[in-house]
Amino acid sequence: MKQSQRVVKNVLAGGLSTALGGLLQLGAVLYVARHVAVADFGIYSFMLAFAFILQRFADFGISSILIRDFAIEPDRIGDVLGSSLLLAWIATVGLAILMYGAIPLLPFNHAIALMTVTMGVAGLTQIQCGFHVSALRSQEDNELQGLSFILHKVVLLILTVGLLTWRPTLWSTVFAQLSANLFQWWLCRFMVIKRYAYPRFRVDLKLWKYLLVESIPVGAAGVVRLLSEQADILILIMLTTPKVVGLFAGSYRLSAGLRFLPQAMVLAVFPIYSRAAAAAGSREDFQDAYERGVRGFLLIAIPVALLFLCLPGPITVGLLGKRYLASIAATRLMGIGVFLLFLASPFPFLLTAINDQRFLFVSCVIALVTRASLDLALAHTFLYLAPCIALAVAESLLVGMWIWRLWQLGHPLRLLDSAWRMAIAAVLMAVVLLALNHHSLLFLAPVAAVATIGYLAVAIRLGAISVDDIALAREGIKFIKPMIDEWSRSASERRAS
């Protein structure tokens, strides 16, 4: 299979699995909301958040390092993954013992504390799953990762419905989450063993030290990014009223849900960045991958941002209701945040590929301090608009620092020729949206889809995308037959062996 076909296959696999899996998970959450008390649903939401944060903290960026290293040296998957999994199990068991031992100290009743810790253990099982997924992503088998993600959500939904129907208590939701996570771990392990190698546990202190040293800046940067996302609401809670927090949170949640899409897309090209950065004499290859990736995310970021900038009223009222009319201005400002969200997506992976994780961490800390400082300075004056302004300024500073760093390392970003062509297409799309923004969201949904297609057509017609990019896209779309041939060949080889 050609590289362009792998990229298209993986982008589609990531996008579709994220969308479908998200809908299935939403179904499970809504079922819980309808079958437990409101207070219990609040506890359930807290437990989910706790499990997610614990999982991200315990992984601490090791998965990203494994993707990078496996992409460069696929022959070492069995040995490195086996040793990494042993390290993960040591961390999992150690943290589980600490959490269960700390139950008497938690500020909850015993039952809630026990459920919360058990949900945390369910989150920790995702570390092993994530390490296996790293192998799948490094070899650009994202369709297998996508399949495991969707099946995990299917099992979660089935177990949630079945257990809550049988016994409508929070313990049913905890067992459903834990069982679904264990199923995904088993499935990903099965795929890795069948596809690549059997990862045997082994003690390798040198490898453990390497993984921890390399991953700590990446993991710390991820934690800082999580803190940045929560800082706005925490500061508003301290300085304003719950209503102000709610008006901001409504608009913020509309845009925050989109962050999974660029993340799924960029993971499809991370192995390409890693191999281009590691190969001798491949500065031109890395530069080409860098510019092509950022150009692609810029092309997608513009129409998504325009929807928030031009249709804030229909989006806010249509999705949140008339109670959030005051949030329209915040939704419009969030358009800038959405644009920066997409544009920033490839840079953490680009910096990790060139082994510059320390700058990634430092730049994220600077952005966090800037964002929190602006929140504190502007909250009393601009209320729920303050975090929107802080987000735009901090993320612009962050993207600027990342572009400057890569430029300093010999990789300038030369997109001016493409950017002005995209800008013309964007103006035409904005004119159409603004002319019709007084209609309802139901009417505007198909109009927005047609306007987005028109934007892409105009941008491509004006030459915002190079002839080479178009040729690669056309070549990549024809990935289905090569993918089937590759699966058949792999199956034949396994039967022969």
d(CA 196, CA 194): 6
For residue 372, report the phi and psi dihedrals to the nearest 5 degrees: -65, -40
> Residue 208 corresponds to which tokens in the numbers above?
């453990």
Give CA separation, 484 vs 8, 294, 357, 480, in Å: 15, 30, 37, 6
Domain ranges of the chain: 1-203, 220-481
Task: Tell me, yes or no, if the pTM score tops 0.85.
Answer: no
Predicted confidence at residue 158, as pLDDT, reads: 93
Contacts for 267 with CB less than 8 Å, ≥ 6 apart: 10, 14, 67, 137, 142, 349
Instruction: Give pLDDT, residue 326.
Output: 81
Q: Which residues contact 319 (CB under 8 A, 6 or more apart)?
A: 254, 441
The alpha carbon dihedral of 14, 173, 120, 52 has a sign of positive
Say what the pLDDT of residue 493 is. Answer: 57
**Which pLDDT score is estimated for 152?**
92
Structure-derived torsion over alpha carbons of residues 19, 288, 140, 262, reported in degrees to the nearest 10: -20
Q: What is the pLDDT of residue 490?
A: 59
> Is 497:27 a contact under the CB 8 Å cutoff?
no
Q: How far is CA 187 from the centre of its chain?
A: 21
The answer to whether 429 touches 454, Cβ cutoff 8 Å, is yes
Q: What is the pLDDT of residue 280?
A: 54
For the chain, give the longest Cα–Cα distance: 71
User: Which residues of the chain, if any, have pLDDT below 70?
Assistant: 1-5, 7-8, 38-39, 41-42, 45, 49, 58, 60, 106-108, 230, 242, 249-250, 253-254, 256-257, 279-282, 320, 469, 472-497
- Taking the C-alpha atoms of residue 215 and residue 443, their distance in angstroms, rounded to an integer, is 47
